[in-house]
Structure 1
Amino acid sequence: MQNYKVDDFWEKEVKYNLNADGIIEFYEKQLSTISKTKLKSNLNNRSMSWVFGDFELDKDADHRDFITKHKKLYASHLTNGNKDVIERKTNEDIDELLKVSEIDKNGQFAYFSSPTSSVVSVGYSAFLEKAKETLKDTAEELKKEGWYSDHLNQIFRVQTFNLIIQYYRFYELTFIKRYFLKELLTGISSGNYKTIKDYNAVKKELNFIKLQYDEEVLFFTEGSPKELYKSILEKTNVNKLLAKAEDLVKSISEDTSIIRETRIKRNETLILILTSIMTILLGYTGIKLIVNDVLLNLPIMGEFFMRHPLRYTVGIWFGLILVMVGLNFRRWLINR
């Protein structure tokens, strides 16, 4: 394995006004260069999660004030929009976006989720009392050394990390469900499902996704975790993706049935045509035997048929041909 030193990374490149995709693309390029490996990236399955922490003591005790002051920042991360795009939005639009995206909130923290990303936002007041209790034995000494605020801030960061896990584990479930649904929809849009076997495969896959990531299966009891998961599913449009997938699978079923019925009709028509040809070809011999062995020996009528046996044989055979052609034409009209 090749070793890398600090000198290998002396070059610096400054980027301005990047959105989340731009940041990821930058690091993907860096990783690709360092590892000399071509990285495969799928923008359709890229999702972001952010954490905002307001740990400046005695400034915004109510975290809602902090969110209001920096609502454009929240909007840009929820929509993955750059500064220019957000600046063009009105305050009413931004307020509506935050209102629609918000799942959980109180005076200390809030959680927002959108189809693009999610944001956990925490204020220092959520952990202040617990942090003070933790440092009560060393508080005086830390204050004398001027390190008290730094230690408080460190506790805030650790507690924030513990908090975001509580939210992101549910967001990750919705991300996985959305990923599989998007893969399923991509497969459906390719038009590869045309047979009953194909339909059964895609239906089985959809049922698997629905079963494994259904809120009633994941959470057997009612409560906050279940409601949080359901809310994230709604905010991230996963429920809409599921409904679309179900509609498309239903459409595949109908299309598959139509294709199957069309093929059956074509086969039936082919069989009828072949049967008709065989009947016509073999029918002449049968009709000739009937004329010679039966009709010519009938009382009274036998003398009539005896005058022109070939003529009557061909006439009856030609009538059979007309009947067969008529039946096939009628079948073709019905199946057209």
Structure 2
Amino acid sequence: TTRWDTARRSCYAKALSCSQDDNFVGKVRLKFAALLEESHPAEARFEAERMIAHRARAGYAIPREAQSLVERLSAVTPNTTDRAFYGSLSDAAEALLFSHLPWTDACLGDVFTIEGRDGQKPRRRRRIYVKGNPFAIELSLPDSHPDIRRLAEGTPIKLQLETSKAEPKRTIIHRISRREDGTPMDIMPFRVGVIDHINHGKSLLHVIVARGVDGTCPISLCPWQVEIGTTVAVRLSQHHSKNGLRTRILEIEPTEQSPSADVCRPFREATNVTPSGLGFTLGDIFIPPHMITAEGVQAGDIVEGVAVASFDKKRGKWGMKAIKAKVVARNHFDFGGENDDWE
């Protein structure tokens, strides 16, 4: 078998994997059978006999080459072909068809179930994390997909895919291959962030990693005691939803590393308090009213604590908000009549 014959066989296999309508694929099936004769005689006889049977039912003439092929293989027991068989021979065709697409690094994620509606059965799907900038993009395929079935979570793979520029959430994965030089979850390095909110009612915690980059995860992912201000390392992915691009925390663990100063930093500054109970330090760190009340902060006090990045919707810009605060010195600074300017 020549290299050209292998490529032709692969293209015919790809064509048959796309359509099984014998009214249209008869000639393709016969050419495919002829190329199978040497390497897969049992399958070649099945393909030829299927083509002959269809033409006989339809009242068409039987091609001489089809009849000759079956006669040459009369001693061979035919073996049924199916989509899996065609797929096993389609690599060369797919390589040619998608040669314009680069390979993109990715890793396998977990399996999840989409509950069926209106009497439909539940569907099991597998998450796939594709290397992105700056974060991995989450896609999914049926868990039964032959190229990922039985592979462990985190397995490094590579993809040839196409994403719609008009609709970024629409992506088609064309080819999947193992990445032998990769390591589990290597496209998603841990990033340092800080826990800035805990919702005990919903058992969720919120982590901010950078300005505009944050996510939530179940408290159950943390086998240690969590509290606001804890520095953590997280793996993040993003996915397209009806509400836009969303960020999800996949893994979380404690860390001794420090987040960047524009995300979380300690402070020790004089603080002003407005008539409505809002606190602002000289460095423009916002201290929420409940902290002002709890600590009994008064205008001019020196307050020490930890602040995290926070988007001020009223001002339309990023700032810093205290998540921990305590008074360390009373009446240290005179703000005079500046209170009205701080609200």
TM-score by length of 2: 0.23
Determine which structure has greater relative contact order: mean sequence separation of CA pairs < 8 Å that are 6+ residues apart, divided by chain length: 1
More helix by share: 1
TM-score by length of 1: 0.23
